[in-house]
Structure 1
Amino acid sequence: MANILIADNQETHFFNDVCNNFDYAAQFTKHDAGLLDQIKSCNSVYRFRFPIRKGNGFEVIDAWRVEHSHHQSPTKGGIRYSEMVNEDEVMALAALMTYKCAIVNVPFGGAKGGIKINPKNYTIQELENITRRYTVELTKKNFLGPSIDVPAPDYGSGEREMSWIADTYATMNPGQGDALGCVTGKPIALHGIAGRREATGRGVAIAVRECVNVGEDMQRIGLMPGISGKRIIVQGLGNVGYHSAKFLAEFGGIIVGLCEYEGAIYNADGLDVEAVFQHRKETGSILGYPGAAQEFKNSKEGLEQPCDILVPAALENQITADNVRNIQAKIIAEGANGPTTPEAEAIFYENGGIIIPDMYANAGGVTVSYFEWLKNLSHVSFGRMNRRFEENSNLNLVNMVEGITGVALTPMQRSTIIKGASELELVNSGLEDTMIRSYHEIRETFVNNPKIDTLRTAAFVGAINKIAVSYMNLGIWP
């Protein structure tokens, strides 16, 4: 176990919030107190510093990697590049990853990484040096590897950084056949997987769709069942927010508001997400978009506009006791990690709302990362072995049916029926099945125990029970 180093002056609220949620949920389980303490605690916290050359001088970079739980191997979690990152945040996010993986039945322990920089302040060469040096430090301490700890993109990082990590690890481990499985979220050209980039946002959209499809729950909060026509505000136009809005619109929702750090825009008749995205790409701001009926210089004002569903997909602590009473949405779907404070959540539920918790709602990313990891270990892409076989089988079936019935299908009908599944289609199918099954597992726990008051608590209870079984199977607890 690595040495645990925590700065005396560091804020410790986020990890405490996660632990408080855990403790509250644990009372609805029957597990030994020692086992619960083991599940809750961070197993390994590695804090380190390293120098890089910047300009004509040097700069020392602070970095972390936290492995929260080893009940499953490897551990899994993204690497955050942010000036705001600190040890408490990384510990909290690692813990959430543990519970998130359990909720969606992905066999990983939770982990998280952080590099305390603003990527905008560095050249591409400097970012590469930082990422490669970070990888070297993790590899030296055995905090990286396809069967040890598998990072992924997070806030401030993406496919490019994952490529650097994969290349550095492979260079340090010559001859290791599974080296590319040391990290997920890689580009397709470097054995990434189709659908990974949009997976988290797609998962959020599926989670929202499942929630609003339950007629009993919608009747309780005064909404009609179904996603069609629901007014939705999304905070954040990064990877998660953009794809959440995109897929929610495709499912039939109306995106009435979009919020970014520079401000917010709103139109009750709906906004064209792609057009807003392109406008921001060209001008650097969502403000000034010609299709907006209202603009707000304060991003949080955008959260308070009329809507049915609010998707905070930016950073933590966006909905607090100070502004939650101004939120007009009936449903909050947490695309980001920890966007709603515990005090705000209690108030929102008292007012009859529903919160789809982050550790379920944004689990699409780790689900598809799991598929990528499996692809890297098997050294074959999904669909490669059976796609043509399926197409030939379907073709033979169509020919036989046409011969028996005498009814000829159109070329479009034939191609639709005969077509074998591509990797992207298989990935999206697996993601959809995972999100649907997991939502109803959580809801079943919520409905069957009247003492459980929120979906978040229900999700924690389910995660705790699954992790406890894993520890028992290891023979650590009887």
Structure 2
Amino acid sequence: MKGEKQAAFYQSVLNSFDKAAALTDLPKGLLSQIRECNAVYQMRFPVKINNQFQVIEAYRVQHSQHRTPTKGGIRFSSQVNQEEVMALASLMTFKCALVDVPFGGAKGGVKISPRKYTEVQLEKITRRYTTELIRKNFIGAALDVPAPDYGTGAREMAWIFDTYNTFKIGDIDSLACVTGKPITQGGIRGRTEATGRGVYYGLRELLNQADEMEAVGLTTGISGKRLVIQGLGNVGSYTATISQNEGGAIIVGVSELEGTIYNPDGMDIDKLIKYRKENGTMIGFPGSKKLEDRDGWVSLDCDVLVPAALESQIHKGNAGSIKAKIIAEAANGPVSDDAEDILRDKGIIVLPDMYLNAGGVTVSYFEWLKNLSHMRFGRMEKRFNQNTYSSLVDLVEKTTGKVIGKRERQVVARGADEVDLVRSGLEETMITAYYQIKDVKSRRKRVHDYRSAAFIAALNKIGSDYLNMGIFP
């Protein structure tokens, strides 16, 4: 059953591609090349667990090498299979093209449930997986650059880097072989929050569009909008906290493994995350009501539904019950292909994953550039800018005869830290990409949804790259 679900996910990606491809002017042969995965590495390797050898199933898929290196996360999940990894690698290609990150798409997966292993055992598995990638030249700063995904994080990326560095002695750019690393090991500030912050920037931009909001009966702006978050992992938690604390959104519902809770008046997401950490569950959070059906999050009354967990969570069987005006795809492939027509007929806007969760790969790109330049962002210019701004403040004080307070001076005259530059670059990326998608949607009469528009925008860029290579006349 699980394998069928992943196969359906891959087919859903292909269906979306075919639908968008039919609306482009690119040659059929070129479209066929873009559609298929270039390389699929399926591996089995033994790892000694509890004095017994266990054979681990794992994958690395490179979807497109029209630009190198290829880029994509590694997920640890008991549900990993080849079709799922192929689907995710395909989405990475279009995602990178859409936000103008110069990578081809890739993805990796290790078929394990991380909860069933100790830290030492997970390290063994991660290092052995990395060794397999090294053997086949499926990892390297100029070849293929992994990153965190579902079930992995900075810890695993540190193990990958250390393993690679052990084999590749003398490689001056070895730090750039993987992104999402700890700050102390070449990581970049702002990477942990990147995907969730990107979701916030993209959603905020959509909500600022008067024409789009009028069509669904909402006022403009994110402030006061009621959000339901499905999945309180890295992406869901940062999306919720940033939307609440910086945008003024109201979190009315949250769904996780232990169930779904709801409060129509809103819940403080910071307190909820703290409560869950202390108690091991969200259930019982003051002021909230637990739904009898954990999957009831789909039909909760809200303005924006944010699926931030796994693929195919919204499908033909439950799409008709959705009350939200907007679905913000924070996860990869949370809306199945067979649900799209139902949602479109209901007038629901779907902001697609290949755009909305591109914050992670965007900031991974910044980390890769930082590693290749061997210098953290802001080191050269921060103090210069700070001194320049301070001199301007002095000039204003001298000219006007008024004194600016110490706190105000610190705000006005401070130079940008690395995290400030990362957030600024991410915001610019998400805003620019949104208007590229909207331009396609508004100018092409047969394009009525954001997903098709995003695919077309990405396909045109990828097609241009291939045509400029001279491979396709």
Q: What TM-score, normalized to structure 2?
A: 0.98
1:278 aligns with 2:258: no
Q: Residues 321-360 of structure 1: matches in 2 within 5 Å?
A: 321-360=316-355
1:234 aligns with 2:250: no
Instruction: For residue 142 of structure 1, report the CA deviation from its aligned partner.
Output: 0.2
Which moved further from structure 2: 450-459 or 280-289? 280-289
Instruction: For residue 9 of structure 1, report the CA deviation from its aligned partner.
Output: 8.7
Q: Helix, strand or coil: the match of 1:270?
A: strand
- Structure-2 separation of matches of 1:29 and 1:195: 36
Instruction: For residue 16 of structure 1, report the CA deviation from its aligned partner.
Output: 1.6
Instruction: For residue 289 of structure 1, report the CA deviation from its aligned partner.
Output: 1.1
- Structure-2 separation of matches of 1:151 and 1:137: 13
CA contact under 8 A between 2:101 and 2:362: conserved in structure 1?
Answer: yes
- Structure-1 separation of matches of 2:271 and 2:396: 46
CA contact under 8 A between 2:91 and 2:354: conserved in structure 1?
Answer: yes
2:254 to 229, 251, 258: 258
Equivalent in the alignment of 1:186: 181
Deviations 1:5-35 (A, max 9, x none): xxx9996222221111111101111111110
CA contact under 8 A between 1:10 and 1:86: conserved in structure 2?
Answer: no
Equivalent in the alignment of 2:165: 170
Q: Residue type of the partner of 2:258?
A: E
Equivalent in the alignment of 1:52: 47
1:307 aligns with 2:302: yes
Q: Helix, strand or coil: the match of 2:264?
A: coil
Deviating beyond 3 angstroms after TM superposition, the runs of 4 or more aligned structure 1 residues are 8-11
Equivalent in the alignment of 1:145: 140
Q: Residues 52-201 of structure 1: matches in 2 within 5 Å?
A: 52-201=47-196
Q: What TM-score, normalized to structure 1?
A: 0.97
Q: Residue type of the partner of 1:110?
A: G
Equivalent in the alignment of 2:404: 409
Q: Residue type of the partner of 1:288?
A: G
Equivalent in the alignment of 1:5: none
Q: Residue type of the partner of 1:375?
A: K
Instruction: For residue 143 of structure 1, report the CA deviation from its aligned partner.
Output: 0.2
Equivalent in the alignment of 1:424: 419
CA contact under 8 A between 2:299 and 2:323: conserved in structure 1?
Answer: yes
Equivalent in the alignment of 1:3: none
Structure 2 gap ranges (5+): none
Give the RMSD, CA atoms, in angstroms: 1.2
Instruction: For residue 433 of structure 1, report the CA deviation from its aligned partner.
Output: 0.6
1:245 aligns with 2:240: yes
2:284 to 283, 288, 298: 288
CA contact under 8 A between 1:300 and 1:318: conserved in structure 2?
Answer: no
Q: Residue type of the partner of 1:284?
A: G
Instruction: For residue 321 of structure 1, report the CA deviation from its aligned partner.
Output: 1.2
Query: Do the aligned partners of residues 398 and 117 (structure 1) sit closer, same or farther apart at CA in structure 2, a change above 3 Å counting?
Result: same
Query: Do the aligned partners of residues 104 and 11 (structure 1) sit closer, same or farther apart at CA in structure 2, a change above 3 Å counting?
Result: closer
- Structure-2 separation of matches of 1:262 and 1:401: 57
Q: Residue type of the partner of 2:43?
A: F
Q: Residue type of the partner of 1:277?
A: I
Deviations 1:287-344 (A, max 9, x none): 111220x212432102211100000001111111111111110000000111111121
Q: Residue type of the partner of 1:136?
A: T
- Structure-2 separation of matches of 1:297 and 1:425: 43
Instruction: For residue 354 of structure 1, report the CA deviation from its aligned partner.
Output: 0.1
CA contact under 8 A between 2:298 and 2:318: conserved in structure 1?
Answer: no
1:269 to 249, 265, 281: 265
Query: Do the aligned partners of residues 425 and 283 (structure 1) sit closer, same or farther apart at CA in structure 2, a change above 3 Å counting?
Result: same
Which moved further from structure 2: 280-289 or 150-159? 280-289
Deviations 1:360-410 (A, max 9, x none): 010000000000000000000000001011111112222222222222211
CA contact under 8 A between 1:198 and 1:240: conserved in structure 2?
Answer: yes
- Structure-2 separation of matches of 1:138 and 1:10: 27
Q: Helix, strand or coil: the match of 1:401?
A: helix
Deviations 1:70-115 (A, max 9, x none): 0111000000100001000000000000000011110000000000
1:457 to 449, 452, 456: 452
Structure 1 gap ranges (5+): 1-7
Equivalent in the alignment of 1:216: 211
- Structure-2 separation of matches of 1:263 and 1:440: 37
Instruction: For residue 56 of structure 1, report the CA deviation from its aligned partner.
Output: 2.1
Query: Do the aligned partners of residues 26 and 195 (structure 1) sit closer, same or farther apart at CA in structure 2, a change above 3 Å counting?
Result: same
Instruction: For residue 350 of structure 1, report the CA deviation from its aligned partner.
Output: 0.6
Q: Give % identity.
A: 54
Q: Residues 436-451 of structure 1: matches in 2 within 5 Å?
A: 436-451=431-446
